[in-house]
């Protein structure tokens, strides 16, 4: 969890996890350090279809077997998981770390906070 690229930010996790922490405060540093990070949206497929982050793939929370298989099979790829509020990905992140994954971040805030942080990131790039 303390393995985040930017350790100079102050943030108390809302949801504790054994996975690495991602939040609005360190998201820009993470994306700069790991530009090919894979973002996985674990919300229901219906909610993903209604609104999602363009670069995120959907592997619904009900399909934890597929999610864990992909992450464990690709240790060289970094993944950031997000859900509705950050709770479920904190739990899933811990499960994945217990299964041996070292390449998992969890976004500890809401879907809408992630969406806003990514929009701000894209504005800064322009």
What tens digit of pLDDT does each residue of 27-39 get?
989 999 999 999 9
Provide the pLDDT for residue 2: 41
Hey, how many other C-beta atoms are within 10 angstroms of the C-beta on 42? Answer: 22
Q: Are strands 104-107 and 56-58 parallel, antiparallel or unpaired?
A: unpaired
Hey, how many other C-beta atoms are within 10 angstroms of the C-beta on 11? Answer: 15
Please state, in angstroms and rounded to a whole number, the distance separating the CA atoms of residues 108 and 68. Answer: 19
Reference 38, options 16, 17, 9, 67; nearest CA is: 67
pLDDT digits (tens, 9 = 90+) for 80-108: 999 999 999 999 999 999 999 999 999 99
Structural domains of the chain in order of their starting residue, each with its CATH number? 26-125 (3.40.250.10)
Residue whose tokens read 């973002």: 39
CB 15 within 8 A of CB 87: yes
Reference 68, options 36, 30, 29, 42; nearest CA is: 42
Provide the pLDDT for residue 120: 75
């Amino acid at each position: 969890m303390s393995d985040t690229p930017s350790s100079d930010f102050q943030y108390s996790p809302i949801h504790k996890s054994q996975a690495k922490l991602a939040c609005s405060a360190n998201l820009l540093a993470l994306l700069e350090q790991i530009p090919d990070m894979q973002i996985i949206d674990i919300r229901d497929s219906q909610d993903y279809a209604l609104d999602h982050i363009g670069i995120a793939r959907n592997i619904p929370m009900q399909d934890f077997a597929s999610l864990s298989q992909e992450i464990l099979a690709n240790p060289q790829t970094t993944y950031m998981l997000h859900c509705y509020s950050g709770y479920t990905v904190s739990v899933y992140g811990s499960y994945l770390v217990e299964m041996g994954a070292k390449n998992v971040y969890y976004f500890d805030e809401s879907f809408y906070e992630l969406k806003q942080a990514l929009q701000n990131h894209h504005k800064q790039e322009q």
